Amino acid sequence: MPNQAKLELESFGNLLSTDLQPFNICTTFQRKTIDHLKQEISIEMRRVINELKNVTCRNYEEYHLERYIQTHQREAIKLMNVTSMYKEELDQEHLEQYFYEQASSLYIAMIFALGSILDHIEKEQWKYFDLGLSVPDSDRIGSARLLNDNLNVLKAKLKSKAIDPILQQIILDYITTHCARESCSYQQLIYAKLIMDNLLLLLSVNRDIDWNKKIMVVLIYLNFNKVSFFTYCKRYVAISVASELTFVAQTGKFSWYIKEIKKMHLKPNVAYKHRRPPLSESLLTYIDLELLHMLEVQIQVPEKQPVMDLTERAEKLDFKLALNMTVDQLALFVELFMRLKIFPIEKGKTMTTMNFFTQHVTTIGTDQISALSLNKRRKPNGRTIEWMKETLKVMRKVLDDMDIE
């Protein structure tokens, strides 16, 4: 069934590969009028959309229906990108102004038709819409242009509210970097728009409030779990705690933050990075670790209950466990434990396990491990196997020494 999706869009593909080729366009206009071609595109667009509407009424399994819709989505994106490329190539054909304008308007009509098909899937069949696919180039460029226009407004509003320059820079860098992307997924585009719209709405209010705190609350609500913002939040909490004058007041301040964070509303299914833990969860983990650190210090000097400045720790504290092994060695370690069922992995959950390691450990020579790379390296080379054998010998010796003790 999924192969039928390409057939539904076949006429668009045929037009682009024949009549609408930039070097063929003048010949095409000698055979067909621009109005006839546009009508042809419009009729085909309505036919495909009707087919997509009707397919949900047929007795197809959910899995096949999802593949069918998503294949349409992928094909429409590909054809939109081809059309955009043809529109750019018109400049190289040295066409007369009349033919150039006609061809340009025809490509715009094609982009509109394919975009309408994608809009239908996104709005009417959102359950099957794949947010992980790349946005068509024309939509990405148009959205980046709008975001860039709003960026100047956002910049002015942040400055007028006297927002902390560091927080301003984190927000503006994120939007600027997104707009400069050569490709982005629907998920990334939707999230960037969400951040922009929420911040502009918030900053349009004229009230005398703690604007830094208000913006932080909104970004936590939107799960802006970017590393730079997480570090900023940790530092904000640490500075607040450091302002307390007693050990008891400091621990009490941490406890207050725990309650406040737990009470925060979070927007469902929204995140800067979906594979990272929610920002609120990471902040709670950070506070728990700092409370444990304070307790350990207090145990060492119980009579003093020292006041602590944890600001520097907030910027350096990393939740990842630093392993004294390479990525290849870690991959072999994981593979052994999976084969021995020490890590009991359900069918289809292997990549979930790989993601767990990438999020929680670092290896020699790298702070960031790719889950895909770690999974590929589960098939070890001879050198890594020899390393494991030597390591097991050392472990055996350590165990023997434990018996003697």
- Report pLDDT for 404: 59
- Report pLDDT for 186: 95
pLDDT over 70 at 161, yes or no: yes
Q: Show which of 255, 283, 316 is a domain's final residue.
A: 316
The answer to whether residue 360 sits within a structural domain is yes
Cβ neighbours of residue 107 closer than 8 Å, sequence gap 6 or more: 20, 83, 84, 86, 87, 90
pLDDT over 60 at 5, yes or no: no
CB 319 within 8 A of CB 360: yes
Summarised one tens digit per residue, pLDDT across range 346-372 is: 877 788 788 878 777 878 877 667 778
Cβ neighbours of residue 313 closer than 8 Å, sequence gap 6 or more: 238, 290, 293
- 289 plus 309 within the same structural domain: yes
Q: Considering the chain, what percentage of its residues have pLDDT values greater than 70? A: 94
Q: Which DSSP helix (H) or strand (E) runs through 401?
A: helix 382-404
pTM over 0.85: no
Cα(255)–Cα(248) distance, rounded to whole angstroms? Answer: 11
- 71 plus 103 within the same structural domain: yes
Q: Considering the chain, what percentage of its residues have pLDDT values greater than 90? A: 54
Cβ neighbours of residue 33 closer than 8 Å, sequence gap 6 or more: none
- 37 plus 12 within the same structural domain: yes
- Report pLDDT for 236: 94
The SS3 of residue 137 is helix
- Report pLDDT for 300: 73
Summarised one tens digit per residue, pLDDT across range 25-66 is: 989 999 999 999 999 999 999 999 999 998 877 778 888 889
- Report pLDDT for 371: 79
Rounded alpha-carbon distances, angstroms, from residue 274 to 115, 205, 216, 270, 367: 27, 30, 19, 7, 19
CA proximity to 326, closest of 374, 286, 279, 288 = 374
Summarised one tens digit per residue, pLDDT across range 164-210 is: 999 999 999 999 999 999 999 999 999 999 999 999 999 998 888 89
- 268 plus 347 within the same structural domain: no
Cα(232)–Cα(230) distance, rounded to whole angstroms? Answer: 5
Give me the chain's average pLDDT, please.
88
- 241 plus 93 within the same structural domain: no
- 156 plus 224 within the same structural domain: yes
- 280 plus 330 within the same structural domain: no
Q: Show which of 108, 130, 152 is a domain's final residue.
A: 130
Summarised one tens digit per residue, pLDDT across range 271-312 is: 999 888 899 999 998 999 889 888 887 777 666 666 777 777
- 178 plus 65 within the same structural domain: no
- 294 plus 148 within the same structural domain: yes
The answer to whether residue 58 sits within a structural domain is yes
Task: Please state the rounded mean pLDDT for residues 245-258.
Answer: 92
The answer to whether residue 135 sits within a structural domain is no
- 373 plus 299 within the same structural domain: no
- Report pLDDT for 314: 74
Structurally, the chain folds into a number of domains equal to 3
Range of the domain at 65: 3-130
- 329 plus 370 within the same structural domain: yes
Q: How confident is the model at residue 93 (pLDDT cuts 50, 70, 90)?
A: low
The answer to whether residue 92 sits within a structural domain is yes
- Tell me the chain's radius of gyration from C-alpha atoms: 28
**Cross-strand bridge partners of residue 134:** 185
- 51 plus 164 within the same structural domain: no
The answer to whether residue 197 sits within a structural domain is yes
CB 153 within 8 A of CB 200: yes
Long-range contact set of residues 172-180: C-beta below 8 Å, sequence gap at least 24: 173/228, 174/224, 174/226, 174/272, 175/147, 175/151, 176/151, 178/144, 178/147, 179/144, 179/147, 179/148, 179/151, 180/144
The answer to whether residue 148 sits within a structural domain is yes
CB 167 within 8 A of CB 215: yes
